Amino acid sequence: MTAPVFVVDKVPGVGEFVLDGAEGRHAVSVKRLRADERVTLTDGAGNWADAVVVAAEGKDRLVVRVTSAAAEEEPAVRITVVQALPKGDRGEVAVETMTETGVDAIVPWQASRCITQWKGERGAKSLAKWRGTAREAGKQSRRVRFPEVGEALTTKQLAPLLAGADLAVVLHEDRDHPSGALATAELPASGEIVLVVGPEGGVSPEELAVFAEAGARPYRLGPSVLRTSTAGTAAAAVLLARTGRWS
């Protein structure tokens, strides 16, 4: 089994280090780690270190000995998922599974057909939940580079993001639409893929027109219609496999 991951502000160099605070409490009181067990420390930005537990002290202090430190290279092809806001807690489900799958960035999208609205304090709390979910899912899936969760954008604000991508994809919910299949789309060897996932009500014709003008093309994922909270994860898995990141 791979070592559990804990987040630190700055990855320490070789030598003794004390993990305390919330992460130390989780290691000592929840994971109940003991001497000689291995852990991974990361800043969530690709820097990480291997360490061995020296001792657990009290309820929230884990003394470890860092044995090596390294940095994970940026992927040749980055995958950003633009996720329309789902109802209820399905947004956190989408973020959790996309993080576990391996996406590099998630952008919340206030689509015209979204029932959920992120405004004011509610919007700030929802965004904080998405970011917290990405952090926890990153730890659970043993990642050392967590996905960035950006500010919620409108359709107009998304256009520059799509225009700057090496490949911009809009998942089309109509399985009979004459669009191409994502499984056979021509992918860039390097750069940025931006994948747009619409709301349960679908992407409006007006939004499709804005995206098309920015260079985005509609693609079908498969013969079945997925929910907005699962479509991004399934599409990301297709892309990760095809770009060689799962090889």
* Per-residue pLDDT, 172: 80
* Per-residue pLDDT, 57: 94
Q: Could you give the C-alpha distances from 13 to 65, 144, 181, 195, 236, in angstroms and in order?
A: 10, 16, 47, 37, 34
Q: Smallest Cα–Cα separation from 126: which of 94, 84, 81, 91?
A: 91
Q: Smallest Cα–Cα separation from 1: which of 137, 142, 128, 164?
A: 142
Whether 156 shows a pLDDT value over 80: the answer reads: yes
At residue 101 the predicted structure's pLDDT band, cuts being 50, 70 and 90, is very high
Mean pLDDT to the nearest integer, 102-126: 94
- Which of 146-160, 175-189, 216-230 bottoms out in mean pLDDT, i.e. has the lowest? 175-189
Whether 218 shows a pLDDT value over 80: the answer reads: yes
Q: Smallest Cα–Cα separation from 149: which of 170, 123, 167, 172?
A: 123
Look at strands 61-71 and 15-19 and give their pairing: antiparallel
d(CA 164, CA 38) in angstroms, rounded, equals 42
What token pair was written down for 245? 């990141």
At residue 238 the predicted structure's pLDDT band, cuts being 50, 70 and 90, is very high
**% of the chain beyond a pLDDT of 70:** 98
- At 47-75, the pLDDT tens digits run 999 999 999 999 999 999 999 999 999 99
Mean pLDDT to the nearest integer, 209-215: 96
Q: Smallest Cα–Cα separation from 170: which of 228, 115, 114, 116?
A: 228
Identify the DSSP state of 77. Answer: E
* Per-residue pLDDT, 89: 92
Whether 165 shows a pLDDT value over 80: the answer reads: yes
* Per-residue pLDDT, 25: 97
d(CA 135, CA 92) in angstroms, rounded, equals 11
* Per-residue pLDDT, 174: 64
